[in-house]
Amino acid sequence: MDINQKYTPQSWPEHPETATMEGKNKFIGFWLLLAAETVTFASLFATYLALKDKGPSGMEFSAAGLYELPLVFAMTMILLTSSLTSVYAMYHMKNHNFKAMQAWLGITVLLGATFLGLEIYEFNHYVHLGFGYTNSAFSSAFYTLVGTHGAHVLFGLSWFIALMLRNAKRGLNMYNAPKFYLASLYWHFIDVVWVFIFTVVYLMGVIG
Amino acid sequence: MAHDTHIHVRSQAEFEYTKKKRAEEMRGHLATFAIMIFLTLIAFTMVTAGFSAYLIVPIVLLLAAIQVVLQLYYFMHMSGKGHGMVAFFMFCGMFVAFITILALVTIVWW
């Protein structure tokens, strides 16, 4: 059978992401990656917690005096909303509505790019205050943890854009349905990590 | 071939049923989203209101845990069928994550 086999909403399987052997393998392999990513981020969180507010004597910056909650709140709401829009995209993917899926993915990408822009603004602001990467053990741990998350956002955005462009004329089929599904799982995982970042880094940082 | 699948054209009734079930599921996701926004608002409000740190820290951590469970089980469909191995992977990951954080946080105390 041809991988470019055309489907209609009636013949589209109920779970297109795991309807083929290829899809099943991708699904299980990708979740294994997410489990490994959990450990990666845990090691960065552990480093941050161990080194929070630590550095050379007389260092100027501490978590309580640095973070600005209104910006973090805006970033949180934007990323959380982008998680919902990617749920909408997968809802339309399962209904075999390619155009609606592309539109919701487009909105997700816009929200993700806004989030990334705000994060770049935040880092730039801190660096201008004199809180650079090499400032203290605390600053290195902070930038490595939050920056790794930011790099994941950038990768997720590029992944979505690449999928949307590559498949713009192909439409939905068994070849790309698992790909779209995995990219949306990755996007949700990015939000999962952010929930812990805004709680452990920012909220608990402001309390001191 | 790896992309092979059995093509099953659903009857109109079957099709309508799946579509309706999916729309209901989507409404559930919207409710989940509302709860997540609400939990986030509580967490930020508590910190801004300036309660005692001993009260805030356990509560915001609990709120974060609830939000992550909602994200994993509903948005990422871990509550759906065929996610047994997925749950095994994730719980192993979380276990190692917990040990890692515990070890590094306690090392700096001693």
Q: What is the pLDDT of residues B11-37, one digit of tens each?
A: 889 899 999 999 999 999 999 999 999
Q: Could you say which of B60, B76, B86 has the minimum Cβ distance to residue A188?
A: B76
Burial of A159 (0-12, 13-18, 19+ CB in 10 A): middle
Q: Which token pair is A85?
A: 């829009």
- Cα distances from A37 to residues A42, A151, A192, B108, in angstroms, run 8, 13, 11, 24
Give the count of domains, chain B: 1
Q: With 70 as the cut, is the pLDDT of residue B49 above it? A: yes
The CB density around residue B11, as the number of other CB atoms within 10 Å, is 9
How far apart (Å, rounded) are the C-alpha atoms in residues B5 and A67? 52
For A174, name the nearest residue in chain B, comparing CA atoms only.
B3
**DSSP code, position B83:** -
Please identify which residue in the block is written with the tokens 């979380």. B94
For the four alpha carbons of A78, A81, A87 and A91, in that order, the dihedral sign comes to negative
ipTM attached to this prediction = 0.92
CB A136 within 8 A of CB A56: yes
pLDDT value of position A1: 56
Which CATH code of 3.90.870.10, 3.30.470.30, 1.20.120.80, 3.20.20.70 fits the domain covering A73-208?
Answer: 1.20.120.80
- Cα distances from B27 to residues A88, A120, B15, B31, B92, in angstroms, run 10, 34, 19, 6, 31
Phi/psi at A197 (5° precision): -65, -45
Span A18-70, pLDDT tens digits: 999 999 999 999 999 999 999 999 999 999 999 999 998 888 899 999 999 99
A185: nearest Cα among A2, A23, A53: A23
State which residues form the domain around B71.
12-79
In a domain, residue B70? The reply is yes
In chain B, % of residues over pLDDT 70: 95
Element of type H or E holding B101: helix B84-107
Q: Could you say which of A14, A46, A196 has the minimum Cβ distance to residue B104?
A: A46
In a domain, residue B68? The reply is yes
pLDDT value of position B107: 81
Q: How many CB pairs under 8 A join A and B?
A: 154
Contacts A45 to B, Cβ<8 Å: 101
Span A148-164, pLDDT tens digits: 999 999 999 999 999 99
How far apart (Å, rounded) are the C-alpha atoms in residues A63 and A68? 10
Q: Which token pair is A31?
A: 């979740």
In a domain, residue B52? The reply is yes
Contacts B33 to A, Cβ<8 Å: 80, 83-84, 87
Mean pLDDT for the stretch of residues B104-109: 81
A15, A18, A24, A39, best to mutate vs chain B, most B CBs in 10 Å: A39
pLDDT tier for residue B1 given thresholds of 50, 70 and 90? low
Q: Is A172 helix (H, G, I), strand (E, B) or coil?
A: coil
pLDDT tier for residue A146 given thresholds of 50, 70 and 90? very high
In a domain, residue B74? The reply is yes
Q: What angle do CA A110, A112, A115 make, to 5 degrees?
A: 110
In a domain, residue B24? The reply is yes
How far apart (Å, rounded) are the C-alpha atoms in residues A160 and A19? 22
CB contact under 8 A, B90 and A31: yes
Mean pLDDT for the stretch of residues B97-103: 95
How far apart (Å, rounded) are the C-alpha atoms in residues A143 and A137? 10
In a domain, residue B89? The reply is no
Q: With 70 as the cut, is the pLDDT of residue B110 above it? A: no
How far apart (Å, rounded) are the C-alpha atoms in residues A78 and A112? 8
CB A184 within 8 A of CB A86: yes
pLDDT tier for residue B75 given thresholds of 50, 70 and 90? very high
CB contact under 8 A, B8 and A11: yes
Contacts A41 to B, Cβ<8 Å: 97
pLDDT value of position B10: 85
Mean pLDDT for the stretch of residues A135-143: 95
pLDDT value of position B109: 63
**DSSP code, position A48:** H
